[in-house]
């Protein structure tokens, strides 16, 4: 009968070495390296975003000769005349058309999306999950696949090159993301407040508009900003739906179409400062909106993940 194998001294040494605790200094050094890497990456990312925007704004104050001679030089003369030329060359009309569409499309998207999300999050009924995943699937459906049937559907409704046609399409286009975002937010709201409103005799409509919707204000602001940015920068949908059908139809181009139209109108008479000024005019409102509500956007994004 063979003798049992004796444990060598190397095995306990390896076990004891594996149980040695990590010193606080090592953890601190790892944290410093991680923070330096993350902050460096964010700084690089900020430069990649800020520098092109700064170059765009500075180019609006230059002349064609200055842009062609030194694209990264400073303007010789600071004047706002170029913004006036861009505004009178059509940017003003395109800006007004975009504002008219968004004044109706964004609030209606928030209203219908929050109502659908509230019902799906707070009420249990047959088909609840099916309707929710139906909305979510809409966010994964590329809009390019629906352009042809969408065009003929809007044409059959006689809404091509109309504000109401583009408004309805924008609402349908933004509903999936709005329902998905607000559904998660409504589920985090306290149930006790909802039950208290029901016990006090509040109707479903009053409970939604006077109790639950004000509590969801951070989420509404966040998803409202995302919808405003998405609809303001939308190009493919207005290009298909906002084209004059005859010579007598008015041009109701939005800003994204108007910038292309402005570039095509120049022809061989290049006026790059006007084009840069038009892009700056289209960019500034969205920067102001985001910078004004950035804290609310961050609060809405974080509060939807915490109970």
Shortest CA distance to 208 belongs to which of 271, 281, 121? 121
269 backbone dihedrals φ, ψ, rounded to 5°: -85, 80
| Element spanning 289, H or E | helix 272-292
- Map out the domains of the chain with their CATH numbers: 81-303 (1.10.3720.10)
Nearest to 221 by CA among 107, 100, 98, 102: 107
User: What average pLDDT does range 199-208 have in this prediction?
Assistant: 87
3-state helix, strand, coil in the chain (%, to 5): 75, 0, 25
Above 80 in pLDDT, residue 70?
A: no
- Could you give the percent of the chain with pLDDT greater than 90? 33
User: Which band of pLDDT confidence, cut at 50, 70 and 90, is reported for residue 163?
Assistant: very high
Spell out the residues 6+ positions from residue 228 whose beta carbon is closer than 8 angstroms to its own: 102, 106, 286, 289
Does position 246 have pLDDT exceeding 90, yes or no?
A: no
Among candidate residues 55, 53, 62, 86, the one with its CA nearest the CA of residue 263: 86
Per-residue pLDDT at 149: 92
Q: Are 159 and 238 in contact (CB under 8 A)?
A: no
**Residue whose entry in the numeric block shows the structure tokens 């900020």:** 46
Work out the angle between the directed axes of helices 147-156 and 163-188 (0-180°, nearest 10). 120
Reported as a pLDDT band with limits 50, 70 and 90, residue 19 is low
């Amino acid at each position: 009968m063979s003798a049992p194998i004796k444990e060598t001294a190397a095995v306990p040494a390896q076990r004891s070495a594996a149980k040695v605790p990590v010193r606080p200094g090592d953890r601190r050094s790892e944290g410093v390296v991680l923070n330096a890497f993350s902050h460096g990456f964010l700084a690089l990312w900020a430069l990649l975003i800020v520098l092109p925007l700064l170059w765009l704004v500075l180019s609006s104050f230059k002349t064609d000769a200055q842009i062609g001679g030194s694209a990264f030089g400073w303007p010789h003369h600071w004047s706002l005349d170029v913004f006036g030329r861009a505004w009178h060359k059509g940017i003003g009309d395109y800006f007004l058309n975009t504002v008219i569409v968004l004044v109706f499309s964004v609030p209606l998207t928030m209203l219908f999306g929050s109502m659908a999300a509230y019902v799906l999050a707070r009420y249990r009924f047959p088909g609840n999950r099916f309707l929710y995943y139906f909305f979510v699937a809409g966010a994964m459906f590329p809009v390019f696949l629906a352009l042809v049937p969408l065009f003929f559907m809007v044409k059959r409704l006689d809404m091509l090159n109309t504000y109401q046609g583009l408004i309805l399409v924008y609402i349908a286009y933004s509903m999936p993301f709005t329902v998905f975002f607000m559904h998660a937010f409504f589920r985090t709201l306290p149930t006790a407040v909802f039950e208290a409103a029901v016990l006090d005799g509040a109707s479903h409509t009053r409970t939604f508009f006077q109790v639950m919707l004000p509590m969801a204000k951070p989420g509404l602001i966040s998803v409202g900003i995302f919808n405003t940015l998405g609809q303001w920068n939308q190009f493919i949908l207005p290009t298909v739906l906002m084209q004059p059908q005859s010579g007598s139809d008015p041009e109701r181009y939005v800003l994204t179409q108007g910038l292309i139209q402005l570039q095509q109108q120049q022809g061989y008479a290049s006026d790059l400062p006007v084009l840069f000024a038009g892009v700056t005019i289209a960019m500034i409102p969205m920067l102001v909106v985001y910078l004004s509500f950035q804290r609310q956007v961050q609060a809405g994004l974080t509060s939807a993940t915490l109970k």
